[in-house]
Structure 1
Amino acid sequence: MLKDQSFNGLAEKFNRNIYGTTKGRLRHQLLCDVLSEVLAEEPAQSIIELGGGTGVMSAFLAGLGHQLTLTDISEDILTIARQQLDAGIAVRQADLFDIDDLGEFDVVVCHAVLEWLARPFEALSVLADRMRPGARLSLTFFNRDAALFSNAVYGNFEYIARGMKVKNQVRLNPQQPLVPREVIAEVQNLGFTVHSMRGIRCFHDYLRDRDMADSKYEELLATERQYGHQEPYLWLGKYFHLWLEKRPD
């Protein structure tokens, strides 16, 4: 039976694996692009980041002049965050399902969280219930369609036939990848308007020569930026981003 995943006991490894690799660096840069397009020129917004880990995105948003609250379920992760973040960023240990003051924030950031939860669609319902009308949600999740495609490219046909399930789940592998079209339908049903969508890492994970992620990084980044919001490439992003706004009741 699936349980919500935290990274207690794996904080240092998580920090290295996520932000110490080209895939982590690229994902972060592309998400910063998306958030900057909306928030860079706006007056100070009150923003809460859910499952924000070590606070790299919170630090970026605070640098744009916004007021940040960082939350995560893992106290080990937040120990690293407190060492790295400016004192002006509020840090709270909290489970997403237990945060009852979402209505006080202008923007909710929920990046790469749903795929670690046992009940990801229930989490979306919680966000919809607790966010105020007019508030915005920056949502990113691990793309099941892209995961299947990349496994087929690399010949992992038996893994696909098993429904992309393994007996012993590696704790740093997302346990619940989601299908973008299903998530889009669900958030619309829950009362959100979709303002934009974008694939994150549409090409990086399919490179035949993995060394090119380093040697051609700037060219790769430029290509991701150019095509990540265009059909059909956005549907191949290893992660999928949605900018959402809670509609009036």
Structure 2
Amino acid sequence: MKSDQIFDGLADKFAANIYGTTKGRLRHQLLCEALEPWLPETPARILEIGGGTGVMAHFLAQHGHNVVLTDASEDVLVHAKELLSDTAGVTIRHARLQDSHDIHRYDMLVCHAVLEWLDNPMEAIAFMAGEMQKGSLLSLSFFNRDALLFGNALYGNFDYIEQGMQVKKKVRLNPHNPLPVQPVIEACEQAGLTVRAKTGIRCFHDYLKDRDMQTSHYEQLLALERTHNQRHPYLWLGKYFHLMLEK
């Protein structure tokens, strides 16, 4: 737990880097679309772990749900409080994932882009699954190590791949524990969770040779992602991977 990444001191840069770019905009849009079909028609109790600046909590609250947003970073929660100041139905709580012992009270758990920042992500999966009530849902997304390797191969970063995609000096806004998809699926199933849906997030965006097209052709790119992000083989190439799971 001591080596888990927390964004205190990096909140402004985090907000700009993640949501001030086409990659952040596209990730959020595709995650919302992956999650929306699974949202209950009546107001649900939703716990978001690692909710960051509050963009997903805002989306969920706008759909009429009651959301408790938690994050381990007090600095990041300052942004969340500002964004959600006029949003009804959201409670903000400063807490680590491991502190959430009331998971059983919720109909849905949302944990997006958290696992890759943890020292023991598989233990986190087991913890969440163990705390969930039967019939509840978990929306889980994580940074895809398989896609990271593929992208680096495309750019000829062979030495980096041979080094296990580890660098001596870590960049604090780069996930330090990207995860291969299949072991995550297996860990979820072993913890008593059933996979209901799989979606690749940004299956094409990050591989464009002309990076300017990420902006100039955004709508066409979005349409391409929507068409193929749940189809083989493209979903496995998503820079992030999304699982909808049921206890």
User: TM-score, length-normalised on structure 1?
Assistant: 0.97
Deviation at 1:87, TM superposition (A): 5.0
Counterpart amino acid of residue 7 in structure 2: F
Aligned residue number for residue 17 of structure 1: 17
| Residue aligned with 1:48, SS | strand
Aligned residue number for residue 89 of structure 2: 88
Q: Unpaired runs of 5+ in structure 2?
A: none
Aligned pairs (5 A) from 1:142-161: 142-161=143-162
The separation in 1 between residues aligned to 2:159 and 2:2, in whole angstroms, is: 22
Please tell me whether the aligned partners of residues 61 and 88 of structure 2 are also in contact (alpha carbons under 8 angstroms). Answer: no
The separation in 2 between residues aligned to 1:149 and 1:2, in whole angstroms, is: 30
Counterpart amino acid of residue 245 in structure 1: E
The separation in 2 between residues aligned to 1:186 and 1:88, in whole angstroms, is: 32
Aligned residue number for residue 231 of structure 2: 230
| Residue aligned with 1:170, SS | coil
Deviations 1:185-220 (A, max 9, x none): 110111001000010000000000000000000000
Aligned pairs (5 A) from 1:44-193: 44-85=43-84, 86-193=87-194
The separation in 1 between residues aligned to 2:159 and 2:3, in whole angstroms, is: 25
The separation in 1 between residues aligned to 2:55 and 2:195, in whole angstroms, is: 25
Task: Give the share of equivalent positions with the same residue, in percent.
Answer: 59
Please tell me whether the aligned partners of residues 140 and 243 of structure 2 are also in contact (alpha carbons under 8 angstroms). Answer: yes
Deviation at 1:2, TM superposition (A): 7.8
The separation in 1 between residues aligned to 2:243 and 2:80, in whole angstroms, is: 25
| Residue aligned with 2:177, SS | coil
| Residue aligned with 2:139, SS | strand
The separation in 1 between residues aligned to 2:26 and 2:88, in whole angstroms, is: 27
Aligned residue number for residue 32 of structure 1: 32
Q: What's the Cα RMSD here? A: 1.1
Deviations 1:108-143 (A, max 9, x none): 000000000000000001101111111100000000
Q: Which moved more, 1:1-10 or 1:56-65?
A: 1-10
Please tell me whether the aligned partners of residues 65 and 89 of structure 2 are also in contact (alpha carbons under 8 angstroms). Answer: no
Deviation at 1:88, TM superposition (A): 3.1
Deviation at 1:25, TM superposition (A): 0.2
Deviations 1:161-191 (A, max 9, x none): 0000011110000011111111111101110
The separation in 2 between residues aligned to 1:244 and 1:157, in whole angstroms, is: 35
The separation in 2 between residues aligned to 1:187 and 1:200, in whole angstroms, is: 19
Deviations 1:73-96 (A, max 9, x none): 000000111111025310000010
Aligned length: 245
Counterpart amino acid of residue 32 in structure 1: C
Aligned residue number for residue 41 of structure 2: 42
| Residue aligned with 1:30, SS | helix
Q: Unpaired runs of 5+ in structure 1?
A: none
